[in-house]
């Protein structure tokens, strides 16, 4: 019984540390995607909105995490965006279309 409890605690610890690592990766990727489109990532935060299992190209099962974040073209608007990580790799992203501010 104690071995099972220790195993469960170790798995929970691994999941927590892995989730922190993936969150940092999502922040970096979200910032990079926003910069490519001349947008600013707001609040420098992401929220994991979905956690599921997915398969990579080799057929291996990995965690599929969807992170939501907001970007802005002018600072006055908020565009709700998301990105999906399969393991450590960016598998999908969406930033809605927007109008460039006129100077």
pTM value is: 0.87
pLDDT per 10-residue tile (average), the chain, 103 residues: 94 96 96 94 92 94 96 88 96 88 59
Number of domains in the chain: 1
What was the pLDDT predicted at 98?
A: 80
Task: Let me know if residue 84 belongs to a domain.
Answer: yes
What was the pLDDT predicted at 77?
A: 86
Task: Let me know if residue 15 belongs to a domain.
Answer: yes
Please name the residue that has the structure tokens 């001349």: 38
What was the pLDDT predicted at 86?
A: 97
Q: 46, exposed or middle or buried, with CB in 10 Å at 0-12, 13-18, 19+?
A: buried
Task: Let me know if residue 58 belongs to a domain.
Answer: yes
Tokens of 31: 């910032």
**What's the domain range around 59?**
2-94
């Amino acid at each position: 019984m104690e071995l099972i409890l220790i195993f469960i605690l170790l798995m929970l610890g691994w999941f927590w540390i892995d989730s922190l690592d993936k969150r940092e990766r999502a922040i970096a990727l979200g910032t990079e995607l926003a910069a490519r489109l001349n947008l600013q990532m707001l609040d420098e935060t992401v929220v994991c909105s979905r956690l599921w299992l997915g398969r990579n190209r080799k057929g291996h099962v990995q965690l599929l995490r969807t992170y939501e974040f907001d970007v802005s073209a002018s600072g006055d608007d908020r565009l709700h965006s998301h990105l999906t990580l399969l393991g450590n790799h960016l598998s999908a992203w969406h930033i809605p279309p927007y109008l460039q501010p006129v100077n």
